[in-house]
Amino acid sequence: MLVQRNIRPKRRMIRSAGKDAPFSAFVYVFVTLFALMCLLPFWLMFINSFAKESVIARDGFTLFPKAYSAYAYQFLFQNTRVFSNYRVSILVTVLGTCAAVTVTSMFAYALSNKKMRYGNAISFMTYFTMLLGSGLVGFYILMVNWLHLKDSLLAMILPYLMNPFFVFVLVAFYRGIPYELNEAATIDGANDALIFFKIILPVAMPSIATVTLFFALQYWNDYFLALLFIDDYKLYPLQMMIRTLISNLNAQQFISGSRTAYAIQIPTYGVQLATVCVTVGPIVLLYPLLQKHFVKGLTIGAVKG
Amino acid sequence: MGLFRDIRKNAWLYLLALPGIIFLVVFSYLPMTGHMLAFKDYRINKGIWGSPWVGFKNFRFFFGGVNWLPVTRNTLFLNALFIIAGLGAAIVVSLLLNEIRRAAYKKVVQSVIFLPYFVSWMVVSFIVYAMLNTKDGTINRMLATLGHAPISWYSSPQYWPAILTIINLWKSAGYNSVILLAAIAGISGEYYESAVIDGATRFQQMRLITLPLIRTTILVLLLLALGRIFYGDFGMIYGVVGDNTPLLATTDVIDTYSYRALRNLANFSMSSAVVLYQSVMGLIVVVVFNAIVHRVDENARLF
Amino acid sequence: MFLFKKLGTLALAVLLMVMAVGFTPAYAEQLSPVELKIMVPGDRPADMDAVLAEIERLEKPTLNVSINLVFVPWSDLGSKTQLALLSGEDVDLIFDAPWLHMDQMFSQGMYEQLDGFIDTYGPNLKAMRPQSMWEANTWDGQIIGIPLGTTVGGTRAYHLRKDLREALGIAPIQTHQDLVDYLYKVKEAYPDIVPYSMDKNATDNNWSSWWIEQHNSDPATIVNHSPGGVGMTFLFYTEGKDGTVIKNIFDDPNDTIWNAWREARQLYLDGIINPDILADNRTSITQFETGKVASYVSNSVTVEPSERENIKVNAPNAEVEAFLEWSMGDGINISDFKVYNFLCIPKIAKNKERSIQFLDWSNSTQDIYDLFAYGIEGVNYEKVGDKKYTPLSNTYPNFSYVWVLNPVQDRFDSRMTDDEVAIQMYFREAEHWERSKLSFFNFKSDEIATELAIFNDVEAKYMSAVGHGVVDPDETLAKVKAEAYDAMKVIQAELQKQIDAHLASQK
List chains touching B (3+ CB pairs under 8 A).
A, C
What pLDDT digit, counting tens, does each position of C123-145 carry? 999 999 988 889 889 998 899 99
Q: How distant is the Cα of A260 from the closest Cα of chain C, in angstroms?
A: 6
Calculate mean pLDDT across residues C7-26.
49
Residue-level pLDDT at A79:
66
Please answer yes or no on whether A132 and B279 come within 8 Å at the CB atom: yes
Q: What is the DSSP string of B63-89?
A: HSSS-HHHHHHHHHHHHHHHHHHHHHH
Domain residue ranges in chain C: 34-152+338-435, 157-335
Q: Is A142 near chain C, with CB under 8 Å?
A: no
* Continuous segment of H or E residues that includes residue C440: none
Calculate mean pLDDT across residues B178-186.
84
Domains of chain B: 2-28+35-300 (1.10.3720.10)
What pLDDT digit, counting tens, does each position of B85-137 carry? 999 999 999 998 888 888 888 888 888 888 888 777 878 888 888 888 887 78
* Continuous segment of H or E residues that includes residue C210: helix C207-214
3-state class (DSSP) for residue C295: strand
Q: Is B268 near chain A, with CB under 8 Å?
A: yes
Residue-level pLDDT at C10:
55
Task: Report the percent of chain C where pLDDT is more than 70.
Answer: 92
Question: Does ipTM exceed 0.90?
Answer: no
Please answer yes or no on whether A31 and B96 come within 8 Å at the CB atom: yes
Query: Could you give phi then psi for residue C268, rounded to 5 degrees?
Result: -65, -45
Please state which CATH number belongs to domain C157-335: 3.40.190.10
pLDDT of residue C481 exceeding 60: yes
Q: How many CA atoms lie within 13 A of B141 on its CB side?
A: 7
Sequence-distant (≥ 6) Cβ neighbours of residue B183 within 8 angstroms: A172, A173, A176, A206, A207, B213, B214, B216, B217
Greatest mean pLDDT range, A6-15, A159-168, C145-154, C445-454:
A159-168
Lowest mean pLDDT among A20-24, A286-290, C470-474: A286-290
List chains touching C (3+ CB pairs under 8 A).
A, B
What pLDDT digit, counting tens, does each position of A83-107 carry? 889 999 999 999 999 999 999 999 9
Residue-level pLDDT at A305:
33
Q: How distant is the Cα of A237 from the closest Cα of chain B, in angstroms?
A: 16
Q: Is B24 near chain A, with CB under 8 Å?
A: yes
What pLDDT digit, counting tens, does each position of A116-154 carry? 888 889 999 999 988 887 778 889 999 999 999 999 999
Instruction: Report how many Cβ contacts below 8 Å link chain A to chain B.
Output: 289
Q: What is the DSSP string of C228-244?
A: TTT-TTSSEEEESTT--
Domains of chain A: 10-32+80-247+269-303 (1.10.3720.10)
The dihedral formed by the CA atoms of C299, C304, C308 and C314, expressed in degrees to the nearest 10: -40
Between B47, B152, B270, which is nearest C275 by CB? B152
Rg (CA), chain A: 25
Amino acid, res. B242:
G
Between A244, A250, A260, which is nearest C413 by CB? A260
Q: How distant is the Cα of C475 from the closest Cα of chain A, in angstroms?
A: 31
**Under a CB-based contact definition with an 8 Å cutoff, are residues C173 and C252 in contact?**
no
pLDDT of residue A14 exceeding 50: no
Residue-level pLDDT at A256:
53
Does domain C34-152+338-435 fall under CATH 3.30.230.70? My reply is: no
Q: What is the DSSP string of B276-294?
A: HHHHHHHHHHHHHHHHHHH
Query: Could you give phi then psi for residue C36, rounded to 5 degrees?
Result: -105, 130
pLDDT of residue C17 exceeding 60: no
Give the CA angle between residues C64, C66, C71 to the nearest 5°.
Answer: 150
Calculate mean pLDDT across residues B159-174.
92
Q: What is the DSSP string of B104-143?
A: HHHHHHHHHHHGGGGS-HHHHHHHHHHHH-TTT-HHHHHH
Q: How far apart are alpha carbons A266 and C391 in whole angstroms?
A: 14
Cα separation values, C373 from A78, C94, C346, Å: 21, 18, 24
Which residues 223-282 on chain A approach chain C with CB closer than 8 angstroms? 227-228, 231, 233, 243-245, 247-262, 264-266, 268
pLDDT of residue A304 exceeding 50: no
Q: How far apart are alpha carbons C501 and C157 in whole angstroms?
A: 35
Q: For C194, which DSSP code?
A: B
Neighbouring CB atoms inside 10 A of B201's CB total 16
- Reported residue count of chain A is 305
Please answer yes or no on whether C83 and A136 come within 8 Å at the CB atom: yes
On chain C, the residues whose CB falls within 8 A of the CB of B163 are none
**Under a CB-based contact definition with an 8 Å cutoff, are residues A93 and A219 in contact?**
yes
Residue B71: exposure state from Cβ atoms within 10 A (0-12, 13-18, ≥19): buried
Q: How distant is the Cα of C490 from the closest Cα of chain B, in angstroms?
A: 13
Q: How far apart are alpha carbons C391 and C382 in whole angstroms?
A: 6
Lowest mean pLDDT among A16-25, A31-40, C350-359: A16-25
- Reported residue count of chain B is 303
On chain B, the residues whose CB falls within 8 A of the CB of A39 are 112, 115
Q: How distant is the Cα of A215 from the closest Cα of chain B, in angstroms?
A: 12
Nearest partner of C238 among C210, C267, C212, judged by Cα: C212
Cα separation values, B290 from A192, B88, B285, Å: 28, 20, 8
Calculate mean pLDDT across residues C224-232.
79
pLDDT of residue B70 exceeding 50: yes
Between A167, A175, A291, which is nearest B110 by CB? A291
Nearest partner of C370 among C410, C402, C416, judged by Cα: C410
Please answer yes or no on whether C298 and A256 come within 8 Å at the CB atom: yes
* Continuous segment of H or E residues that includes residue B234: helix B234-240
What pLDDT digit, counting tens, does each position of B228-264 carry? 899 998 989 988 888 888 999 999 999 999 998 888 7
Instruction: Report how many Cβ contacts below 8 Å link chain A to chain C.
Output: 122
Residue-level pLDDT at A12:
46
On chain C, the residues whose CB falls within 8 A of the CB of A249 are 43
Q: For C159, which DSSP code?
A: E
pLDDT of residue A261 exceeding 90: no
Q: Do domains C34-152+338-435 and C157-335 have the same CATH topology?
A: yes
What pLDDT digit, counting tens, does each position of A201-224 carry? 888 888 898 899 889 989 998 999
Calculate mean pLDDT across residues C42-51.
91
Q: What is the DSSP string of C381-399?
A: EEEETTTEEEE--SSS---
What pLDDT digit, counting tens, does each position of A160-190 carry? 999 999 999 899 888 888 888 888 888 887 8
Q: For B29, which DSSP code?
A: I
Residue-level pLDDT at C9:
55
SS (H, E, C) chain A: CCCCCCCCCHHHHCCCCHHHHHHHHHHHHHHHHHHHHHHHHHHHHHHHCCECHHHHHHHCCCCCCCCECCHHHHHHHHHCCHHHHHHHHHHHHHHHHHHHHHHHHHHHHHHHCCCCCCHHHHHHHHHHHHHHCCCHHHHHHHHHHHCCCCCCHHHHHHHHCCCHHHHHHHHHHHHHCCCHHHHHHHHCCCCHHHHHHHHHHHHCHHHHHHHHHHHHHHHHHCCHHHHHHCCCHHHCCHHHHHHHHHHHHHHHCCCCCCCCCCCCCCCHHHHHHHHHHHHHHHHHHHHHHHHHHHCCCCCHHHHCC
Closest chain C residue by Cα to residue A140: C83
pLDDT of residue B27 exceeding 80: yes
Between C87, C282, C310, which is nearest A144 by CB? C87
Q: For B62, which DSSP code?
A: H
pLDDT of residue A57 exceeding 70: yes
Residue-level pLDDT at C23:
42
Residue-level pLDDT at A297:
43
Q: For C32, which DSSP code?
A: P
Residue C431: exposure state from Cβ atoms within 10 A (0-12, 13-18, ≥19): exposed
Cα separation values, C338 from B147, C107, C136, C435, Å: 56, 18, 6, 10
Q: Is A74 near chain C, with CB under 8 Å?
A: no
**Under a CB-based contact definition with an 8 Å cutoff, are residues A60 and B126 in contact?**
yes
Please answer yes or no on whether B260 and C461 come within 8 Å at the CB atom: yes
Residue-level pLDDT at C202:
65
Amino acid, res. B208:
L
Q: How far apart are alpha carbons A31 and A34 in whole angstroms?
A: 5
Q: Beta strands C223-225 and C412-413: pairing type? A: unpaired
Between A38, A192, A284, which is nearest B116 by CB? A38
